[in-house]
Amino acid sequence: MPRPPSVDEDQLGDLIAAVFRAKGYEGTGIGDLATASGLQRASLYHRFPDGKEQMAQVALTHVGRRFAAILAPMRDDPDVARGIAETARGLGEFYGFGALSCVLDTMTLAGAPAPLRDRARSLATAWLDAMTDAARRAGHRPEAAVRAARDAFVRVEGALVLGRVTGDTGVFAETVALLPSLLVPEDRA
Amino acid sequence: MPRPPSVDEDQLGDLIAAVFRAKGYEGTGIGDLATASGLQRASLYHRFPDGKEQMAQVALTHVGRRFAAILAPMRDDPDVARGIAETARGLGEFYGFGALSCVLDTMTLAGAPAPLRDRARSLATAWLDAMTDAARRAGHRPEAAVRAARDAFVRVEGALVLGRVTGDTGVFAETVALLPSLLVPEDRA
DNA sequence: GTCTATATTTGGATAGAC
DNA sequence: GTCTATCCAAATATAGAC
């Protein structure tokens, strides 16, 4: 009878994604993934026959699923402002309140395989589109909504870099707390 | 008689820094640096006997010098607002108008040697301090100056990530153009 | 499906001639 | 100071037993 996996697909995706997002594509070794997952390297190749690049794709897929869940309130809550606030909380938690990095940053350095970079771009676009749409529904004009979403993206990514470089996670915390005021117009907050 | 170097110290620092900033520490190979510099790998080891980590330190030192020059107007110009505007232009150019990455981002991923991360932090601190000081002299109160500087840092770094991930460099251009209004109080602009 | 053991390639680093 | 040639360790990937 088939042997059950020692870690299920989703757990494995989570563990792998954590390594890639901290160390980037080239900085991540199969040994790092083995250590993080509790599997031997050969077992990882059994799960992902196409090797490291496939493992990285799995990491991005996992992040995409996590992100979709985080963005859901902003997209679905009839009270858009409340949904945005809930999504902001989710983002804060997802990024370890400023202590973690973003795969969109760390996995897109020059040297990463083009398919990975493409996938990262589509993740970024999905996130930006979701914020733009929410800002629009919250009362922003189309142009202002696009700008607000870009601004939110820029501030989150920049605050994560600041946190990693200086060790100060406070700016990220403030940034996340500020997100609703960015995406919801003054007079609708 | 001693043979003159085929590339001088500063040129070499520039070429090496360009590779590290694009590919990060682990993503950069000695072969990449050799290709970029036109030297053989062994020649790089002659220049930098302590190997890759020393080469990365040289890259950071070079970036530190470039940065000092870019920050000079903001620090020295008696007309602070004018100096800030000039520094902003310098930053825009240094980052290839949004097409390049920042070493503070790419060289600080988990896995980079601690001394490198320390050096990157001190570079970031110097930049933040310079902006804080300028904002203070431009008329901001101490607390507001600190916040303005952090905001400027966050926006620049975030816009560079956005540019790398989505290919859209326009946001970085806008960000740089906006820097003076961030660092100079409304009523002093 | 996971493991131990191993093959193969890459990459950091060195030796020594010129 | 730069080069060719080489060493050696690390990393990706594979083979085959359980």
Compute the C-alpha angle A96/A98/A100, nearest 5°.
Answer: 60
B110–A158: do the CB atoms touch at under 8 Å?
no
Whether the per-residue pLDDT at A37 is higher than 90: the answer is yes
Report the Cα A104 to chain-centroid distance in Å. Answer: 7
**Percent of chain A's residues with pLDDT above 70:** 98
Query: A interface toward B at CB cutoff 8 Å?
Result: 22-27, 101-102, 104-106, 108-112, 117, 120-121, 124-125, 128, 150, 153-159, 161-162, 164-167, 171, 175
The mean per-residue pLDDT over the stretch A163-177 comes to 98
Q: CB-CB: which of A27, A105, A167 is closest to B161?
A: A105
pLDDT of residue A4: 81
Q: Which two tokens stand for residue B32?
A: 């990449």
- Res. A13 pLDDT band, cuts 50 70 90: very high
pLDDT of residue A149: 98
Condensed to tens digits (0 to 9), the pLDDT of residues A65-83 reads 999 999 999 999 999 999 9
Q: Nucleotides of chain D within 7 Å of a protein C-beta? A: 1-5, 10-16
pLDDT of residue B187: 79
Compute the C-alpha angle B97/B166/A48, nearest 5°.
Answer: 135
DSSP string, chain A: -PPPPSS-HHHHHHHHHHHHHHHHHHH--HHHHHHHHT--HHHHHHH-TTTHHHHHHHHHHHHHHHHHHHHHHHHH-SSHHHHHHHHHHHHHHHTGGGTS--HHHHT-SBTB-HHHHHHHHHHHHHHHHHHHHHHHHTT--HHHHHHHHHHHHHHHHHHHHHHHHH---HHHHHHHHHHHHHHS-GGG-
pLDDT of residue B146: 98
Q: Is B180 in contact with B77 (CB distance < 8 Å)?
A: no
A chain contacts of residue B128, beta-carbon cutoff 8 Å? 166
Distance, in Å, from the CA atom of B33 to the CA atom of B19, rounded to the nearest integer, reads 7
Distance, in Å, from the CA atom of B128 to the CA atom of B32, rounded to the nearest integer, reads 31
Q: Which of B153, B154, B173 is nearest to B163 (CA)?
A: B173
Q: How far is the CA of B29 from the C1' of C7 (A)?
A: 24
pLDDT of residue A125: 98
| Domains observed in chain A | 9-188 (1.10.357.10)
A108: amino acid identity, one letter: T
Beta strand extents in chain B (DSSP E only): none
**pLDDT tens-place values along chain B, 189 residues long:** 567 888 999 999 999 999 999 999 999 999 999 999 999 999 999 999 999 999 999 999 999 999 999 999 999 999 999 999 999 999 999 999 999 999 999 999 999 999 999 999 999 999 999 999 999 999 999 999 999 999 999 999 999 999 999 999 999 999 999 999 999 998 766
Query: B interface toward A at CB cutoff 8 Å?
Result: 22-27, 101-102, 104-106, 108-112, 117, 120-121, 124-125, 128, 150, 153-159, 161-162, 164-167, 171, 175
